Amino acid sequence: MTTNTTSDSTIQLHIPDSTYPRVVIVGAGFAGLELAKRLAKGPFQVVVIDKNNYHQFQPLFYQVAMAGLEPSSIVFPIRKMFQQMPNVHFRMTAVEAVDTGAQLITTPLGTLTYDHLVLAIGAETNFFGNQTIAEKAIPMKSVSEALYLRNTLLNDFEKALSTVDEAERHGLLDIVVVGGGPTGVEVSGALAEMRKYILPKDYPELNAQEVEIMLVEGSPKLLNGMSEVSSVTALKYLQNLNVTVKFETFVTNYDGEWVEMSDGTRTRANKVIWAAGIIGNKMKGLSEGSLTRGNRIVVNRYNQIKDLENVYAIGDIAYMEEEAYPKGHPQVAQVAIQQGKNLAKNLLRSGSPEKWKPFRYKDLGSMATVGRNRAVADLPHYRTQGAFAWFIWLFVHLFQLVGFKNRIIVFVNWVWNYLTYDQSLRLIIRPRNPKYNPISEE
């Protein structure tokens, strides 16, 4: 029987006792949820811990930021997911530290013992040590950040209507996107379509052509994880949408108004959208020797952390080498889902870990969309671009969403937008806390 056996002076995170081994999963992203769902009906007590009470569908954050979708359509309540699974318990809190010797985790709500601990803590935006950029740029790693970007965009359009000074108006209208991966490409394409189809209708007094969109990428190509033809096609799509793309250039500084770049140029922009990379979230209590580049946790082919048989890492935070991926797997949803499945199967197998099966990633392909009827798709045995790739992208992302209702809502929004070139979601919803409010309510 698993119990919270800690000293009387320690506050315990109350979880009912169980005769089953306790599996504690930290993080309710793609990896953590996949694992929890598959263990739910097995001989385990599963405890899921996350700082939010909902699962976020990250691939569609940019559509929330561009007012194409409401945030409620791409999130799903964690407790609702486990309503019919009595062996699963959820606590909304953060894990502050891990004591692998005592098999104990510490949270602000108390401590909790475990038999198996799974870290699915994901990654955060990587600003490469530049604190100034971290304070001023806008990342896109959460629904709240996507909403903040939406508010900022719409606020600046409103301000620009009454701004006479040309330089100041350009600062309000112009946008710099940093990072030429799928997120940067998709955000740039969505911004360009907003400029082309939405601004002339919503803001007829503004000259939409004054809005300049610049995508800055440090390497010589876009979409580095995809094929050359996809990279070239994505660039062509962006250029056709009048997006300026700068290669082999880095943003070196940003003070909230001026963007400084490694080629010596400066550009005025009140908004810098940062999509230039991610870095793993750290967990106190793990040895430094278990970490590698990007703060990823080194695991073996069974997702076990080095020297810790009953502690695992899955998803973006896990660094695993296999023959086809000698530098680790890409940090994408499919890797996370497949690692969650494989670890669940291994834990459910009776007997010792000698009977476990090593993880082997099956690449299902990569995709990126650059707007209506513009997408690129590298599938295992097939590459395609244009409208067909776009419909594949829509279909795949629609069915990856958690919850049937969410799929219906997103589908209706997409159909309406396709037919009308318009959305009705361009609302400025300001939090009460002025710290997160782009303009004062006074």
Using alpha carbons, select from 249, 295, 12, 321 the residue that is nearest to residue 129: 295
Q: Which residue is catalytic, options 34, 70, 145, 186?
A: 186
**Is there a single domain that holds both residue 396 and residue 308?**
no
Structural tokens at position 411: 């589908």
**Is there a single domain that holds both residue 300 and residue 388?**
no
Answer whether residue 210 is part of any domain. Answer: yes
Q: What's the predicted TM-score (pTM) here?
A: 0.89
The rounded radius of gyration (Å) of the Cα atoms in the chain is: 23
**Is there a single domain that holds both residue 252 and residue 399?**
yes
**Is there a single domain that holds both residue 269 and residue 135?**
yes
Number of alpha carbons in the 13 Å side-chain half-sphere of residue 66: 28
Structural tokens at position 282: 């750290």
Query: In sequence order, what E strands does 232-319 have?
Result: 244-246, 251-254, 258-261, 266-268, 271-274, 278-280, 297-298, 304-305, 308-313, 318-319
**Is there a single domain that holds both residue 234 and residue 320?**
no
Instruction: Look up the domain containing 316 and give its range.
Output: 22-51+93-125+279-355
- Could you give the number of structural domains in the chain? 2
- Partnered with residue 345 across adjacent β-strands are none
**Is there a single domain that holds both residue 267 and residue 161?**
yes
Cβ neighbour number for residue 284 with a 10 Å cutoff:
10
Rounded CA gap, 104 and 198, in Å? 53
pLDDT by position in tens, the chain (length 442)? 454 444 333 577 889 989 999 999 999 999 999 999 999 989 999 999 999 999 999 999 999 998 888 888 999 999 999 999 999 999 999 999 999 999 999 999 999 999 999 999 999 999 998 999 999 999 999 999 999 999 999 999 999 999 999 999 999 999 999 999 999 999 999 999 999 998 999 999 999 999 999 999 999 999 998 999 999 999 999 999 999 999 999 999 999 999 999 999 999 999 999 999 899 999 999 988 899 999 999 999 999 998 898 999 999 999 999 999 999 999 999 999 999 999 999 999 876 677 899 999 999 999 999 989 999 999 998 999 999 999 999 999 988 888 888 888 888 888 877 767 776 667 777 766 555 555 444 3
Last residue of a domain, one of 306, 326, 355: 355
**Is there a single domain that holds both residue 148 and residue 251?**
yes
Helix (H) or strand (E) run with residue 291 in it: none
Rounded CA gap, 351 and 355, in Å? 7
User: What are the distances in angstroms from CA 275 to CA 68, 168, 250, 272, 293?
Assistant: 19, 25, 12, 10, 18
Rounded CA gap, 20 and 285, in Å? 26
Q: Are 375 and 393 in contact (CB under 8 A)?
A: yes
Those residues with Cβ within 8 angstroms of residue 83's Cβ, 6 or more apart along the chain or in another chain: none
Q: Are 322 and 359 in contact (CB under 8 A)?
A: yes
CATH assignment of the domain containing 165: 3.50.50.100
Rounded CA gap, 417 and 425, in Å? 11
Which residue type is seen at 244? Answer: T
Please tell me the predicted confidence (pLDDT) of residue 442: 37
Rounded CA gap, 396 and 378, in Å? 13
**Is there a single domain that holds both residue 291 and residue 268?**
no
**Is there a single domain that holds both residue 272 and residue 178?**
yes
Query: 186 catalytic, yes or no?
Result: yes
CATH assignment of the domain containing 290: 3.50.50.60
**Is there a single domain that holds both residue 182 and residue 310?**
no
**Is there a single domain that holds both residue 294 and residue 343?**
yes
**Is there a single domain that holds both residue 139 and residue 164?**
yes
Is residue 188 classed exposed, middle or buried when 0-12, 13-18 and 19+ CB atoms within 10 A define those classes? Answer: buried
Rounded CA gap, 280 and 347, in Å? 25
Using alpha carbons, select from 336, 375, 380, 379 the residue that is nearest to residue 359: 336
